[in-house]
Amino acid sequence: MDFLPLPPFGGFLLELTMPEKDPTTYTLLTYIWVGLLAMGGGLVAFIRRLNEQKQPEKLRVVFVKLIGELVISGFAGLITFYFCEFLEIEQLLTAVLVAVSGHAGGNAIDLVTRLIEKHINRKTGD
């Protein structure tokens, strides 16, 4: 990144161009929203599966599964957010897609994996 000198004070002023999109240019608030939306979707999926169970589980087991679900959902939502940003999808639709991918959890990650594999196979001719 280029710096422009600030003559009277001898300091430096960052170049006034729009930075490229990368994970470090988003605000903490953006990441909080993405996390909450994705984990909210994961929580909904978890509660639905819990309600469909025939046999009750110990609270400790349920809690460990919930933590795992939230981590997976958060990761799926983050991947979806970056994908939407890359495609320049509007923020409201991005929010919906992040929440839905959080609900899908590991299935959303599997879908992205398959898309990447197809892209690589097209590029390499496999």
Domain that holds residue 100: 27-124
Residue 19 in any domain: the answer is no
Task: Answer yes or no: are the C-beta atoms of 102 and 73 closer than 8 Å.
Answer: yes
Residue 86 in any domain: the answer is yes
- What is the per-residue pLDDT for 61? 95
Q: Which residue has the higher pLDDT, 3 or 60?
A: 60
Confidence of residue 119 (pLDDT cuts 50, 70, 90): confident
Q: Which pTM value belongs to this model?
A: 0.77
Indicate whether 90 pLDDT > 50: yes
Residue 116 in any domain: the answer is yes
Q: Could you tell me where the DSSP H helices lie in 19-105?
A: 28-52, 59-86, 91-104
Average pLDDT, the chain: 87
Residue 10 in any domain: the answer is no
- What is the per-residue pLDDT for 104? 97
Residue 3 in any domain: the answer is no
Residue 102 in any domain: the answer is yes
- What is the per-residue pLDDT for 22? 80
Element (H, E) at 109: helix 106-124
The number of folded domains in the chain is 1
